[in-house]
Chains A and B, each alone.
Chain A
Amino acid sequence: MPKLTINGQAVDVPAGTNLIEAARKIGVEVPHYCYHPALSIAGQCRLCMVDVEKTPRPTIACNTLAADGMAVWTETDRVKETRKSIMEFHLINHPLDCPVCDQAGECGLQIYYMKHGLYDPRMRDEKVHKPKAVPLGAHVILDAERCILCSRCVRFCDEVTGTGELGIFSRGDESEIGLFPGKELANKYSGNVVDICPVGALTDRDFRFAVRVWYLDSATSICPGCARGCNIEVHVNRRRPHHNDGRRVARLKPRFNADVNRWWICDDGRYGFAFVDDTSRLVIPRWSRDGALGDATWEEAIAAVAGALQRFAPDEIGVVASPKMANEDLWALRRILESRGIRRVAFRVPPRTPGDEDTLLIRRDKNPNSLGAELLGLEGDGAAILAAARARQVKCLWVFGHDLLASAWPVTETDAALRALELLIFTGPSANATSERAHFTLPAAAWVEREGTYTNFEGRVQRFRQAVQPLGQALPEWDILGRVLRALGVEAGATRAERWFRELASGVPAFTGLTYQSIGDGGAALSAPPGGGAAGSHLVSGHPPMGPGSRSPLP
């Protein structure tokens, strides 16, 4: 552990730590562009100069490792002068087109010019001209004139995705970022180059000209796109709703979590939020019967669902919960199932096309909370429930979110099952072919419209926060289910997600000790590791897993 001083302050860092990270540890920011902790050291921008005692001139902090006894000064006069010079060099050929640049407001050039530049511009010659508005792929667009050639994007494609689409071509001040011949920036993580681009050279085609970043509000969240549970920020435009055609969610950005996704998210996750403001959203409780349909109040809808749960015998009711539901929702559902003695429950619906997977982040399971659903004891045989429906044993089916008709199950069999039902209830944020067949649809809030927790595939419980109000009359599932529970005459005190979680944590041993506070923004590991047979078995009353067609193992 080298011990050194930075600006006179002592700091211990692990061997191999460079001076940027060592300074960061004591809250000192060494300005830099090309350095990124996830990428190899390029040492190209030359901005991170610091003074190291007994060194004749300022040296770059990114390529200097902390050493025992080293004395580092980050704010000497000559360091400040050097930074100022480097800022001038960065900007002499920059087009200074901030008014039309999406990066404005979060641009490394703007921020550092104000902090470290503030020189009087002297460049009065014609600037170098380079290609502008060049699409690199489906998601990323390049303005080569704004590029400062830090090579972060190139190194990302070389070192993180290993796809190597980008290079720096030509020489001197004609150098420019570009695609190798015949290549397209089409890797599954392409959007990350926009995040790591410190300037407006690489911008997001989906976000392009949509909204100025200073109008954005942010909520910490979790990507619901797969079982990884990448940490994200949801950026929403509440203050200028007329911008971006009224789309409320402007973009998703990865949020650093060393244990989950580091700095990255995949493109499927990044651009997977379009459904939130889509016209397919369910926004009002509705009923449908014999070709007639109409709106219902929540009171009517809740009463109807509760009535059905009481009218049908528990064995005549099937429930297909969803691994897209939060832990809180699933706990509320479990309370209902327990109160009515409903045992035909499942949550896994096999997708028609198997999901892709890689070794970086992407998981084959495209649901954020499969492990949570498993731990909450909702494992069961969905196909068997549908078979029971076809046999008219199950007469009432409650489906959460899934489109059973788009699953790997044979459509004709699913269709026959739905047709045979006396009552189909659907709860979810968006309409689909299954919801179209429902007698009652209860609109659920999308994940950005509510809070809750997901348990990722590694057994990490992570919180997501509300970014926008639910669309129309949609409600979080835990709220819908709580209302049903009360209509069933069961005491259900929880009227906030956090309370449901507290109840869940005291009811499910794997979650023991966890609170919203302890989970925080970084997530928390379950007290019992996933995959250990004990994790969910307490909920199944010691029943061994049962074969196809058997009833749900729920107590």
Chain B
Amino acid sequence: MTATKILTRNFERADSHTLAAYRETGGYAAWQKAETLEPAAITEEVKQSNLRGLGGAGFPTGTKWSFIPKHHAGPVYLVINADEGEPGTFKDRYLLERDPHALIEGMLIAARAIRSATGFVYIRGEYIEPWRRFSAAVKEAYDAGYLGRGFDVVVHRGAGAYICGEETGLISSLEGKKGWPKLKPPFPAIKGAFGAPTIVNNVETICCVPHILTRGAAWFAALGTKTQGGTRMYSVSGRVRRPGVYEASVAITLRALIDDLAGGVTGNGRLKAVVPGGSSAAILRADEIDVTMDVDGLRNAGTMAGSAGVIVMDETVSIPEALMVVARFYAHESCGQCTPCRESTGWIYKMVRRIVEGRGRKDDLDTILDVARRGAGTTICAFYDGAVGPYVSYIEKFRAEFEALIPR
């Protein structure tokens, strides 16, 4: 299978980030069309396209939009999650840097669908160049009259916390508070940013929207599987010959992605394991990669599509060491709000580190598995469940490797 370039079609152009280049390749035509459509018709078109959220959760986008209360008086906000923080994921960065107007056009359309007059783009603090490029594009869009006529865009920079990529953590941060996820209910579509109905969408998700409008829901749906339309951008890293961002159908297999697009495995050349959807996704063994990369395909394989951050490990990679790195990340990034996550991410990291350092105890692995499972599903947000993915899968699938490190 080869790449299908829709979102990334302009990436080769050096001036792809400019309004001129964007217009030259048909930019803002979708918005022109959308202006003639009723908001409900836009939402319906997106529903029909089977577009699913590409930030991690894979929720159907049109359905999400339809949760905004009808006839709501007062502001409705569109918030773009550009806090791309999932380890192994770097696709939104490319979009912000190389096709910022696609996001602006997508926002204009989405805002019309949900009747929002203000959009916020929350860009992770470490993304300096993406922020510069996107801000410049926003200025161009204002100057050209796309923005400022019924829809405004506010660019907001994060300050370096993974949890601010969780949609309600992001909202808290946007509101000027500590980036703590909020209790649900109420859900953001009912009571989100500043207490107003809010839709939070990922950058890439919104960048799909103009294409759906210009080329039709049926075309978009046909690019993918029965339950998920379109292409998506895979961030491939680790032991592959050509790491980078690849756009392909959501129906591509993991094996094809690694071998055909990313040039195959490096290191000793023999695949050991792959994390298919960012660090929170359960790890797959080398014999488990004949799966399609859509949300349901990977869910059926016991893992998740997540943010499509594909991390490839060859046989020379130590899985316990990889888990230690991942565990350190979750311990460091836990916001500390809910007791199970706050306390056990640190504890599990200490145990894994001890094992890696040769000071493991016989019951450590069972303790980690038990603690992880007991905490799963008990917290406000999905962060801890995201940490449980690697805790459990790394140990279950590579237990012998851990046991070999524990002194007898």
Contacts and interface: CB of A to CB of B under 8 A. Distances in A.
A425 B351 CA distance: 76
A175 B336 CA distance: 6
Contacts of A124: 361
Given A43-B380, A45-B339, A171 B332 contact: yes
B347 A172 contact: no
Given A122-B367, A172-B331, A173-B331, A46 B346 contact: no
B336 A172 contact: yes
Contacts of B185: 63
B339 A90 contact: yes
Interface in A142-198: 148-149, 167-168, 170-175
A431 B399 CA distance: 78
B336 A149 contact: yes
B45 interface: no
Given A44-B338, A44-B380, A85-B375, A171 B343 contact: no
B346 A44 contact: no
Contacts of B340: 46, 85-86, 89
A97 B334 CA distance: 26
B335 A171 contact: yes
A468 B227 CA distance: 75
Given A43-B183, A89-B375, A173 B339 contact: no
B350 interface: yes
Given A43-B380, A63-B183, A125-B350, A174 B336 contact: yes
A168 B378 contact: no
A88 B342 CA distance: 12
Nearest to A33: B339
A245 interface: no
A89 B339 contact: yes
Interface size on A, as a range, is 35 or more
Interface in B375-402: 375, 377-380
A499 B367 CA distance: 67
A171 B378 contact: no
A81 B331 CA distance: 24
Interface size on B, as a range, is 20 to 34
B347 A92 contact: yes
Contacts of B336: 149, 168, 170-175
A305 interface: no
B178 A168 contact: yes
Interface string B152-164: 0000000001010
Given A57-B377, A126-B350, A128-B346, A149 B339 contact: yes
B339 A86 contact: yes
A81 B376 CA distance: 13
A41 interface: yes
B344 interface: yes
B334 A125 contact: no
A46 B338 contact: yes
B321 interface: no
Interface string A56-81: 01100001000000000000000001
A175 B374 CA distance: 22
A93 interface: yes
Contacts of A175: 336, 342
Interface string A35-63: 00000011111110100000001100001
A123 interface: yes
A82 interface: yes
Contacts of B339: 44-47, 86, 89-90, 148-149
A63 B333 CA distance: 25
A85 B378 contact: yes
B81 interface: no
Question: Mostly helix, strand, loop or mixed at chain A's interface?
Answer: loop
B345 interface: yes
Nearest to B377: A57
B337 interface: yes
Interface in A110-159: 122-126, 128, 148-149
Contacts of A93: 343, 346-347
A86 B351 CA distance: 19
Nearest to B161: A171
Contacts of A45: 338-339
B299 interface: no
Nearest to B346: A173
Question: Mostly helix, strand, loop or mixed at chain B's interface?
Answer: helix
B191 interface: no
A532 B208 CA distance: 72
B334 A171 contact: yes
A316 to B, nearest CB: 70
Nearest to A43: B183
B291 to A, nearest CB: 25
Contacts of B183: 41-43, 63
A170 B335 CA distance: 8
Given A168-B336, A172-B332, A173-B342, A86 B378 contact: yes
A43 B185 CA distance: 11
Interface in B338-372: 338-340, 342-347, 350-351, 354, 361, 363, 367, 371
A82 B378 CA distance: 8
A45 B380 CA distance: 10
Contacts of A41: 183
A125 B354 contact: yes
B344 A92 contact: yes
A284 B11 CA distance: 96
A493 B362 CA distance: 80
Kindly name the residue among B333, B339, B371 whose own CB sees the greatest number of chain A CB atoms within 10 A.
B339
A125 B347 contact: yes
A44 B334 contact: no
A63 B161 CA distance: 26
A41 B354 CA distance: 38
Nearest to B331: A172
Contact of B335 (A88, A92, A122, A172): A172
Contacts of A44: 337-339, 380
B333 A171 contact: yes
Interface in B147-192: 161, 163, 178, 183, 185
A123 B363 CA distance: 11
B334 A46 contact: no
A474 to B, nearest CB: 51
Interface in B91-110: none
A120 to B, nearest CB: 11
Contact of A172 (B345, B351, B367, B374): B345
A125 to B, nearest CB: 4
B162 to A, nearest CB: 10
Contact of B346 (A58, A85, A172): A172
A510 B332 CA distance: 65
B337 A49 contact: no
Given A44-B380, A82-B378, A168-B336, A149 B342 contact: yes
Kindly name the residue among A122, A149, A168, A170 whose own CB sees the greatest number of chain B CB atoms within 10 A.
A122
B335 A90 contact: no
B332 to A, nearest CB: 6
A171 B345 CA distance: 11
A105 to B, nearest CB: 23
A125 B335 CA distance: 21
A173 B378 contact: no
Contacts of B346: 93, 128, 172-173
Nearest to A174: B336
Contacts of A42: 183
Given A49-B378, A88-B374, A172-B346, 20 more contacts: A44-B337, A46-B338, A46-B340, A46-B378, A57-B377, A63-B183, A85-B375, A86-B340, A89-B342, A92-B347, A122-B363, A125-B347, A125-B351, A149-B336, A149-B337, A168-B178, A168-B336, A171-B333, A173-B345, A175-B336
7 contacts: A44-B338, A63-B185, A93-B346, A93-B347, A125-B354, A149-B336, A172-B342
Interface of B: 161, 163, 178, 183, 185, 331-340, 342-347, 350-351, 354, 361, 363, 367, 371, 374-375, 377-380
A-B pairs, top 5 by smallest CB distance, nearest first, are A175-B336, A173-B346, A85-B374, A172-B334, A125-B350
